[in-house]
Amino acid sequence: MTRSASSPVTDTARRAKAAAAVLAPQPRTVRDGALLAIADSLEARSGEIVAANADDIAKARAAGTSEAITDRLTLTPERIAAIAADVRHVVGLPDPVGEVVRGSTLPNGLELRQVRVPLGVVGIIYEARPNVTVDAAALCLKSGNAVLLRGSSSAYASNSALVAVLRDAVESAGLPADVVQLVPGESRESVRELMRARGLVDVLIPRGGASLIRTVVEESTVPVIETGTGNCHVYVDEHADIEMAVKILVNSKASRPSVCNAAETVLVHAGIADAFLPRALAALCEAGVTVHGDDAWQRAGKDAGTHVIAATEEDWAAEYLSYDIAAAVVPGLEAAVEHIRRWSSGHTEAIVTRDQGAARRFVALVDSTAVMVNASTRFTDGGQFGFGAEIGISTQKLHARGPMGLPELTSTKYVVTGEGHIR
Amino acid sequence: MTRSASSPVTDTARRAKAAAAVLAPQPRTVRDGALLAIADSLEARSGEIVAANADDIAKARAAGTSEAITDRLTLTPERIAAIAADVRHVVGLPDPVGEVVRGSTLPNGLELRQVRVPLGVVGIIYEARPNVTVDAAALCLKSGNAVLLRGSSSAYASNSALVAVLRDAVESAGLPADVVQLVPGESRESVRELMRARGLVDVLIPRGGASLIRTVVEESTVPVIETGTGNCHVYVDEHADIEMAVKILVNSKASRPSVCNAAETVLVHAGIADAFLPRALAALCEAGVTVHGDDAWQRAGKDAGTHVIAATEEDWAAEYLSYDIAAAVVPGLEAAVEHIRRWSSGHTEAIVTRDQGAARRFVALVDSTAVMVNASTRFTDGGQFGFGAEIGISTQKLHARGPMGLPELTSTKYVVTGEGHIR
């Protein structure tokens, strides 16, 4: 048991822990009622949310923030209605709490059940988008957890207004307001205190850029679930259907380059390179993608009259999140796997092949969160996987790996029932 | 990706990572073959193991180590045969690797499977008993993981001899010897390096005293699974069967006081105290247990002519691991839960009651790894739960909670199969 010194952050965490103890045993109807109250309140009070958001926007403009980021920060009554609709969608999802994960009657007659229970207090550290504030709070409430929200300081006014609405709503539904709290303070120090609140906070989930995630992973004594950096690969096997491979490559790279499941490197079997490279270059070029290629790709570019930038080691490591892709020709499947083992962030890798043996080998040898066979890397997503919601995509191996839905926001406990059993 | 500087420990971890990549895709027959070779070799080479063990024993004696600890350190041909038998038992357990945890066909026809895979490299930090060396290695191999073993320096000669036998055996079975390695060095510094080998080691499991576990939890950047400190409680409800409650209390406390699932505190509902305390005191006294009680227990002790030590806050926090128990009378179930929330280590708590509503309330409100209804706390154990093996008892909420068997030594990956699917 950690007894942290008192500070605004640890006091907040302490209140969250007390509120979590009240929330955890509540039946689904109470939690769902709170979510419906949140959705209604967001719409009813969208005026004050938009007003607070205007302050953040004005500050962002004054600071010369890019239009793209300012747009991500912007809340309108329509966007708030969409956020409320997402909350109502969460109400309809199956309740993870109380699910019996396994159960049996032991030889001595003891009844053993492993039951899903809330984690307790979940801390979310995230950047820019204020919709995450509501989204994360809704998923935590649905799964019976109290939530500590630490958003970007650039969205502080918006997040404060949103959390005020959330707290009033959960209170009106009979739950302690402290099940939803904003971490006080806009400084780095408040994040640091949150990372040290072991014993008060059960898990931290950082959502954002690679440097934020690295800091949290390295400095936190609270357990962390690492999310979302994606250096994803598409491997085009010798026995690929070329047309399929081109479609999957372009979709993986260019359908939405800013997200973590976008491809960042394409590896091509030498046996199919002559046929594939010209087709791929033409399609990538048409999609507006710049290729950073090895010698073979550079030669193919020269032949096709397409400029291919010479790739360096930095390209193999890069998570571009832009219309760029690293490209290499490899002598075979094992070399592709070697490259992936060395450079991948372990998010998603795809193989395109008609060869069942190659597909099996690739799946067995690649150690990543998701392996796609003849499908785009873009499918690694809680919504696409049918989870109904996603709190992030874990790229670590403990607790949760891949898209995290509601069950990943729970722990379990064993309930053992006897009639005077002793050992 | 962490690029740790080279050192004997990080070099060992790097070799483990390479060996883990070879081990992970091996079918069950190969892993089971290695385990059978280990069992045979341990028996065949028990002479050299006992000789190495004699060095550790001699050192322990010279250092004035207690007889109990020296006995735990001792290996004989009979004990080695028992260890080999345990390894053969592991061979027969179900293979966790490759198990499909969930699967579905998505609306667009993509086939989604979540499949169990090895974690990769597992580090075990443990104390005294050299049997843990073989036990941990066997469970890691069975679940497809490479293992880094960091035992107590007092067992260094024994562990070195055991690991030499294990490495030869796995190599004879066609696996890289480096799937089993002893962490070099006997100093604290080697533990520290292991804790910093993020990116090379996938998880650390400390098994031992509370201070070892605390150090690892606080200093490790490698993910940790916290095990085994147990401040367990027995709550005797107003509507308990008194005879059953006495039996469960004595069994929970005194059947094996040195283990983590032994009870350390008994809480008694005020409404049953007059009837229960004298019976409990007599039974505890007969079992050789010293009671550290509150005022009510002290008064009952006076009436019964049994000495009850006055309990302080330290007693509520204590994990005695001895024939001592803290004891209090509480006004009701909620007060018992409050006490448990405040002082428990979250391992195991038991309620004794005939009242179904009280049992339900206790189960819902207590946030511990295991909750026993009318059963001894001593049942929280992988063997008792029917898991066939146990690598430790997790008292944390992430990844694994409670006794950890083979599935808890795995992660999962998603395998998604399509026929040219794009988004």
A386: nearest CB among B106, B373, B379:
B106
Query: In angstroms, rounded to a whole number, what is the distance separating the alpha carbons of residues B83 and B392?
Result: 17
Between chains, do B120 and A367 touch, taking CB under 8 Å as contact?
yes
Q: Mean of the pLDDT values across residues B354-383? A: 97
CA distance A377 to chain B (A): 8
Q: How many CA atoms lie within 13 A of A237 on its CB side?
A: 24
Strand partners, B410: B118
Between chains, do A114 and B402 touch, taking CB under 8 Å as contact?
yes
Between chains, do B413 and A367 touch, taking CB under 8 Å as contact?
yes
pLDDT of residue A244: 98
Is residue B252 within 8 Å of residue A418, measured between CB atoms?
A: no
Q: Which residues of B fall within a CB distance of 8 Å from A396?
A: 223
A416: nearest CB among B225, B345, B379:
B379
User: pLDDT digits over B136-165, tens only?
Assistant: 999 999 999 999 999 998 999 999 999 999
A374: nearest CB among B363, B365, B420:
B420
Token representation of residue A158: 């918006």
pLDDT of residue B2: 44
Between chains, do A401 and B380 touch, taking CB under 8 Å as contact?
no
What's the pTM? Answer: 0.93
Inform me whether the pLDDT recorded for B327 exceeds 80. Answer: yes
pLDDT of residue A1: 40
B398: nearest CB among A203, A217, A416:
A203
User: pLDDT digits over B330-343, tens only?
Assistant: 999 999 999 999 99
Is residue B348 within 8 Å of residue A98, measured between CB atoms?
A: no
pLDDT of residue B208: 80
CA distance B419 to chain A (A): 5
DSSP state at residue A239: T
Between chains, do A372 and B255 touch, taking CB under 8 Å as contact?
no
Between chains, do A371 and B414 touch, taking CB under 8 Å as contact?
yes
Is residue A251 within 8 Å of residue B423, measured between CB atoms?
A: yes
The DSSP result for B322-386, as a single string, is SSEEEEEEESSHHHHHHHHHHH--SSEEEEE-S-HHHHHHHHHH--SSEEEEEE-GGG-STTTTT
Q: Mean of the pLDDT values across residues B225-239? A: 93
A372: nearest CB among B378, B397, B416:
B416
Work out the number of other CB atoms within 10 angstroms of the CB of residue A6.
Answer: 9
Residue in chain B closest to A218 (alpha carbons) equals B221
Indicate the range of A19-33, B63-77, B349-363 predicted with least confidence.
Answer: B63-77
Q: Mean of the pLDDT values across residues B2-13? A: 80
**Tens-binned pLDDT, residue by residue, of chain A (423 aa):** 444 568 999 999 999 999 999 999 999 999 999 999 999 999 999 999 999 999 999 999 999 999 988 998 999 999 999 999 999 999 999 999 999 999 999 999 999 999 999 999 999 999 868 999 999 999 999 999 999 999 998 999 999 999 999 999 999 999 999 999 999 987 888 899 999 999 999 999 998 877 888 888 888 889 999 887 899 999 999 999 999 999 999 999 999 999 999 999 999 999 999 999 999 999 999 999 999 999 999 999 999 999 999 999 999 999 999 999 999 999 999 999 999 999 999 999 999 999 999 999 999 999 999 999 999 999 999 999 999 889 999 999 999 999 999 999 999 999 999 999 999
Using only C-alpha atoms, chain A has a radius of gyration, in whole angstroms, of 24
User: pLDDT digits over B298-316, tens only?
Assistant: 999 999 999 999 999 999 9
User: pLDDT digits over A134-178, tens only?
Assistant: 999 999 999 999 999 999 989 999 999 999 999 999 999 999 999
CA distance A331 to chain B (A): 20
Query: In angstroms, rounded to a whole number, what is the distance separating the alpha carbons of residues A400 and A394?
Result: 6
What is the rounded average pLDDT for all residues in chain B?
Answer: 95
pLDDT of residue A2: 44
SS3 A27: coil
Query: In angstroms, rounded to a whole number, what is the distance separating the alpha carbons of residues A328 and A349?
Result: 15
- The CA-atom distances, in angstroms, between A6 and each of A68, A192, B130, B313, B345 are 39, 14, 43, 21, 22
Q: Which residues of A fall within a CB distance of 8 Å from B345?
A: 1
Structure ipTM: 0.94
Inform me whether the pLDDT recorded for B193 exceeds 60. Answer: yes
Query: Quick one: which H or E segment has residue B49?
Result: helix B46-62
Between chains, do B373 and A416 touch, taking CB under 8 Å as contact?
yes
Of the pLDDT bands very low, low, confident and very high (cuts 50, 70, 90), residue B269 is very high
How many helices, marked H, and strands, marked E, lie in chain B?
Answer: 15, 16
Domains of chain B in sequence order: 8-226+399-417 (3.40.605.10), 232-384 (3.40.309.10)
Query: In angstroms, rounded to a whole number, what is the distance separating the alpha carbons of residues B386 and A414?
Result: 13
Query: In angstroms, rounded to a whole number, what is the distance separating the alpha carbons of residues B121 and B146?
Result: 5
